[in-house]
Amino acid sequence: KTIDLNCDFGERFGVYRLGQEEILSYVTSVNIACGFHAGDPLVMRETVQLAIRHGVAIGAHPGFPDLLGFGRRMMAVSPEEVYAYVVYQIGALSAFVKAEGGVMTHVKPHGALYNMAATDAALAKAVAKAVRDVDPGLVLYGLAGSELIRAGQAHGLRTASEAFADRTYQADGTLTPRNRREAVIVDEEKAIRQVLMIVRERRVRSVQGTEVAIDADTICVHGDNEQAVRFARRLHAALQNEGIAVRPISPIDKAAGGT
């Protein structure tokens, strides 16, 4: 059994700091902000250099053009706008990856774009088309069971279904909405058990108590504060203890092609 651990990274902007470099020791893939919701050209370059140095898989993390809202606010964007935003951001990051001699392996939409593309088929299609048009070798990360995963498959992309360590699931397999009290798993032991169950049994226990099938290729962890990094370290150790290989979706040395 194998699993990928991914986290968002490179979310600094100008003088502003965010994120702990140490997280790169515990994840196998990073999603790098591309300047729309966070990140700036200098930050992107340094982040790509760090990712290459730590040997983690590099992905683009395109978001909405909403620095003020950190790309977390839903916006009434058209599929054409989403397509263009994703093409633009993948391209910008890919140039840094190329300049540093690395390879880009995947794309994971950020924040509100991730959430909207999970349920809105037209936006999901726009994201998938953008990824395919720029580089069909890129892996598309999306919420397990979402429209985005379906769109990726329909566009011939390899997809990575994502599950969450610290979020609860409903009986129908969807995430419990964030505004619910029980949406987040605070107990680290419980979060680790959830991940182990997802990886080994391809099932998750819902808040209703039922077991639901879930197909996860990658687990989302966070690196923005020290507590999050500690949890990632614990989770990484727990997975290894159980004989589960923590590794990226694609072997990095023969990753996506020409971009």
Which residues contact its own copies (rule: CB under 8 A)? 13-18, 35, 40-42, 44-45, 65-70, 73-77, 80-81, 83-85, 87-96, 98-99, 112, 130, 133-135, 258-259
Nearest CB to its own copies, comparing residues 102 and 145 = 102
Nearer to its own copies, 103 or 239 (CB): 103
How far apart CA 142 and CA 131 sit, in angstroms, is: 13
What's the distance, CA 218 to chain centroid?
Answer: 8
Q: Closer to its own copies at the Cβ: 35 or 145?
A: 35
Other Cβ atoms less than 10 A from the Cβ of 76: the count is 6
Do residues 23 and 232 lie in contact, with contact meaning Cβ atoms separated by under 8 Å? yes
CB neighbour list of residue 189: distance below 8 Å, 6 or more residues apart? none
Taking the least distance from each CB to its own copies, the nearer of 16 and 21 is: 16
Residues near 201 by beta carbon (within 8 Å), at least 6 away in sequence? none
Nearest distance, CB of residue 219 and its own copies, angstroms: 23
Specify the amino acid at residue 48: V
Kindly state the smallest distance separating residue 77's Cβ from its own copies, in Å: 6
In the complex, minimum distance from the CB of residue 86 to its own copies, in angstroms, rounded to a whole number: 9
Residue whose CB is less far from its own copies, 13 or 164: 13
Per-position DSSP letters for 165-192, written without gaps between them: SSB-B-TTSPBPPTTSGGGB---HHHHH
Query: To the nearest whole angstrom, how small is the minimum distance from the Cβ of residue 81 to its own copies?
Result: 6
Joined tokens for residue 52: 């290459």
Neighbouring CB atoms inside 10 A of 106's CB total: 30
For the CB of residue 150, give the shortest distance to its own copies in the complex, in Å: 21
In the complex, what is the shortest distance from the CB of residue 156 to its own copies, in angstroms, rounded to a whole number?
15
Question: Can you tell me which residue has the tokens 């923590």?
Answer: 246
Closest to its own copies by CB, 136 vs 251, is: 136
Contact (Cβ atoms closer than 8 angstroms) between residue 238 and residue 214: no
Shortest distance (Å) from residue 55 CB to its own copies: 21
Dihedrals phi, psi of 227, to nearest 5 degrees:
-65, -40
Tokens of 244: 């589960």
Residue 5, strand partner residues:
219
Task: Compare residues 14 and 156 and give the one whose CB is closer to its own copies.
Answer: 14
